[in-house]
């Protein structure tokens, strides 16, 4: 299923970049918060948006809470379509945000005399 | 100083240390309730149908990790816990809105739950007759949700607790069980 389009803000880009570091590895919410520096309220809105758009899936981790002495946490993982879309969107964003060449270099490239 | 006084002093010191530790544990437990209470308040700002999926399954386990995890030191965990819960309190309605379109999303095009979750997924029975549900699924689909070890598991803290009817649903049955309106299901 192709992923829906997502409006790529810088905060969304930070989350996607973190997922793309290890695309096959699922992430916990709190670990994503620490890695991206985003507040929980910001992060979970983004995760919900990405999940609704089909870029992410979430699932409960498979542990025995009694043995682990903690509740099962939710894991988030990029879908294959989501990973592809994220790579493309981040590359486009990076291109848009690339600073222009310095004026002197541009003149040089245009064949100006020195 | 007599021997009796020395022994008495030692006993008092040990008693004071023990009482100090008890008081410290008491304070720690009470302080932990601040972020838990905040998170419960945040959960009340979610649509009721997302209470379990967002609050109990996503937020509460993360708060538990913050408060009880290996790296949890007393002051840091309290600060992290309060920040975690307070920020979610602010954004809970927004999270709810983002996710409420989730079910409408599937079925709108050629999308099926099986295509979204080709390996199956964990889902929840949210009705009032779990025994009847198990019987019906067994009869119609040939597997028993009650065999999942998480079926009937008690979730939550002391003040907010419920029996969870979680089970793994194979991909081939997702649309018939989770995606139809026949059963009261959540994820």
SS3 A48: helix
pLDDT in tens, A53-70: 889 999 999 888 888 888
Residue-level pLDDT at B122: 83
pLDDT in tens, B100-158: 755 444 544 456 777 777 788 888 887 788 899 999 999 999 999 999 888 888 765 55
A57: chain B residues, CB-CB within 8 Å = 116-117
* Residue (of A99, A68, A23) closest to B68 by Cα position: A68
pLDDT in tens, A10-64: 899 999 999 999 888 899 999 999 999 999 999 999 999 999 888 999 999 988 8
Query: Pairing between strand B185-186 and B121-125?
Result: antiparallel
pLDDT higher for A104 or B25? B25
- Across the beta sheet with A27-28, the strand order is A27-28, A74-78, A56-60
A1 falls in which pLDDT band (50, 70, 90)? Answer: very low
CB contact under 8 A, A60 and B102: no
Q: Which residues pair with B48 in a beta bridge?
A: none
As a whole number, mean pLDDT of residues B151-179 equals: 77
Residue-level pLDDT at B159: 54
Alpha helices in chain B (DSSP H): 3-43, 60-68, 74-100, 102-105, 113-116, 130-141, 171-177
Whether chain A has a CB inside 8 Å of the CB on B163: the answer is no
Whether chain A has a CB inside 8 Å of the CB on B180: the answer is no
pLDDT in tens, B30-72: 888 899 999 999 988 888 778 888 998 899 999 999 988 766 6
Looking at the predicted complex, does its ipTM rise above 0.85? no
Q: How many residues make up chain B in this entry?
A: 187
Q: Is the pLDDT of residue A3 over 70?
A: no
The first and second tokens of residue B21, run together, are 């530790």
Chain centroid offset of residue A38 CA = 12
B92: chain A residues, CB-CB within 8 Å = 41
Whether chain B has a CB inside 8 Å of the CB on A28: the answer is yes
Residue-level pLDDT at A74: 94
Residue-level pLDDT at B73: 77
Percent of chain B with pLDDT over 70: 87
Report the residue from B57, B64, B88 with minimal CB separation from A40.
Answer: B88
Whether chain B has a CB inside 8 Å of the CB on A52: the answer is yes
As a whole number, mean pLDDT of residues A75-101 equals: 88
């Amino acid at each position: 299923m192709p992923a829906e389009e997502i409006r790529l803000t810088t905060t969304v880009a930070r989350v996607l970049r973190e997922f793309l570091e290890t695309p096959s590895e699922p992430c916990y919410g709190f670990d994503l918060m620490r890695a991206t520096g985003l507040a929980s309220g910001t992060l979970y809105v983004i995760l919900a948006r990405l999940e609704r758009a089909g870029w992410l899936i979430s699932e409960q981790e498979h542990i025995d809470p009694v043995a682990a002495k903690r509740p099962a946490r939710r894991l988030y993982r990029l879908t294959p379509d989501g990973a592809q879309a994220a790579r493309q969107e981040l590359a486009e964003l990076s291109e848009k945000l690339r600073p222009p060449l310095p004026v002197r270099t541009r003149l040089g490239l245009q064949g100006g005399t020195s | 100083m007599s021997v009796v006084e020395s022994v008495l002093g030692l006993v008092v010191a040990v008693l004071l240390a023990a009482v100090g530790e008890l008081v410290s544990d008491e304070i720690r437990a009470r302080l932990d309730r601040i972020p838990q209470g905040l998170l419960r308040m945040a959960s009340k700002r979610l649509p009721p149908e997302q209470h379990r999926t967002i609050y109990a399954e996503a937020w509460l386990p993360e708060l538990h990790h913050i408060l009880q995890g290996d790296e949890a030191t007393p002051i840091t965990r309290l600060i992290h816990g309060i920040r975690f819960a307070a920020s979610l309190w602010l954004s809970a309605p927004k999270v709810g809105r983002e996710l409420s379109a989730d079910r409408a999303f599937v079925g709108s095009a050629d999308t099926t739950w099986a295509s979204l979750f080709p390996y199956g997924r964990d889902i929840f029975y949210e009705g009032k007759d779990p025994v009847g549900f198990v019987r019906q699924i067994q009869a119609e689909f040939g597997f028993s949700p009650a065999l999942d070890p998480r079926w009937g598991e008690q979730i939550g803290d002391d003040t907010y607790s419920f029996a969870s009817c979680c089970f793994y649903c194979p991909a081939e049955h997702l649309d018939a069980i989770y995606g139809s309106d026949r059963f009261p299901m959540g994820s």
